[in-house]
Amino acid sequence: MAAAEKPGDGRTAKVIALYTDPDLRRRAPGHPSAPGHPNTAGHPNTDGHPNTDGFGRPAAEVTPIHEGIDLHDEPSPPVTPVRHSPLFSLGGIRGAIADSLIATSGFIRERMTGDYAVDDFGFDPHFTEAVWFPAVRQLYEKWFRVEVTGVENLPATGAGLLVANHAGSIPVDAIITSLAVRDQHPNERYLRILAADMAFETPIVGDVARRVGATLACTDDADALLRRGELTAVWPEGFKGIGKPYKDRYKLQRFGRGGFVTTALRTGAPIIPVSIVGSEEIYPMIADLKPLARALGLPYFPITPLFPWLGPLGVIPLPSKWHIHFGKPIHTEGYDEAAADDPMVVFDLTDHVREEIQQTLFRMLSRRGSVYFG
């Protein structure tokens, strides 16, 4: 029951409502999806404007990567504004603290009522919306200044298997991509992440991962999510991708044995290639202490320009600018039932997905400006 409102309480109530109600938040001035925001149709930075290229950026003279291969997707407007102020400015810190306090107070109040649900995989939308996304959004908007294109290539409803390149020593790209889908998809869909078993074996991390929608990267879980019509994401490079040295940045590693293709074929889910630029520069790995990694039971132990020399401060990711592009879906419903068990079909389709992501990365990098500034 609401308490009697005191003078000045009305503004506080509106602020709390803004941060606890996703619909209100997305209609608020300054949010990328709010009416009148500069990234809406007709703005010079919108794709389709004569001064932009296929990614909604200023046109540039670029030599094609491969002759005869069409690397240009349909026009896709950049729906996320480029931020120029890092999170750790004085104003950024104050804003982050204020946002966190408001979101947490609203979460505790609603949690006490018991009006929330958790699915069979442990996904807790209430926790995700009230606590997790508000925290991640600070990095997303003010530190990495994420730009998103190709959202129209994501299914409006029903299943879809997102396949992305993996990088960054710590799998931050999965977290950022999850928020990109939730904030930029017209229907505000959730992205269910397929994560390595190590994530669920780590105390605290495993519990949080389950709560925010992640589950084990295995055939059974992937199949179940897709048959339920979920948007599901996999990073098939695995540890080989996030643990590669900086000199090999944006060079895709092997995509495993193509298990994600087999699952897509069996469920008839479209495969959406996802290309992420920016994740390689957050923790530039200059060396890997393999003996120490083996002793600690880790797949690698990264040495970066800041870690371990600066101790805990070295774990702070560098503020690289990100661009996430969702490519055209590769449809699988036209294959017959035996295709999932045909090694050649699986291999060819796996290689096709990998090549789509690799060539799109090359194209995005050729149009990229400053890595950290601008």
Tell me: the pLDDT tens digits for 130-166? 999 999 999 999 999 999 999 999 999 999 999 999 9
Mean pLDDT of the chain: 81
Task: Output phi, psi for 355, to 5 deg.
Answer: -65, -40
CA-closest candidate to residue 323, choices 279, 283, 285: 279
- Where would I find the H helices in the chain? 9-20, 22-27, 90-111, 125-127, 133-138, 172-184, 197-201, 205-211, 219-227, 238-242, 259-267, 290-296, 343-366
Report, as an integer, the average pLDDT of 227-243: 95
Q: What is the mean pLDDT of residues 204-225?
A: 96
| Assigned domain for 164 exists | yes
pLDDT > 90 fraction of the chain, expressed in percent and rounded = 57
- Which residue type, as a one-letter code, is found at position 347? F
Report d(CA 348, CA 231) in Å as an integer: 23
Which of helix, strand or coil describes residue 120? coil
Q: What is the value of pTM for the model shown? A: 0.73
Task: Please say if the pLDDT value at position 6 is more than 50.
Answer: no
| Relative orientation angle of helices 343-366 and 259-267, to the nearest 10 degrees | 110
Residue 141 is classified by DSSP as I
Q: Report the number of distinct structural domains present in the chain.
A: 1
Give domain status of residue 231, yes or no.
Answer: yes
pLDDT of res. 16 = 44
Note down the domain range covering 251.
14-19+79-282+317-366
What's residue 111's pLDDT? Answer: 65
- Spatial CA neighbour of 145 closest among 360, 345, 300, 370: 370
- Any domain includes 223: yes
Tally of helices (H runs) and strands (E runs) in the chain: 13, 9
Average pLDDT for 338-345: 95
230 within domain boundaries: yes
| 72 is a domain residue | no
Alpha carbon separation from 179 to 9, 191, 212, 321 (Å, rounded): 31, 8, 11, 16
Kindly state whether residue 61 falls inside one of the protein's structural domains.
Answer: no
Exposed (0-12), middle (13-18) or buried (19+): which is 256, by Cβ within 10 Å? Answer: middle
- The CA-to-CA distance between both ends of the chain, in Å, stands at 48
- CATH code of the domain covering residue 257: 3.40.1130
Q: Which pLDDT tens digit goes with each residue over 347-356? A: 999 999 999 9
Stretch 202-225: mean pLDDT: 95
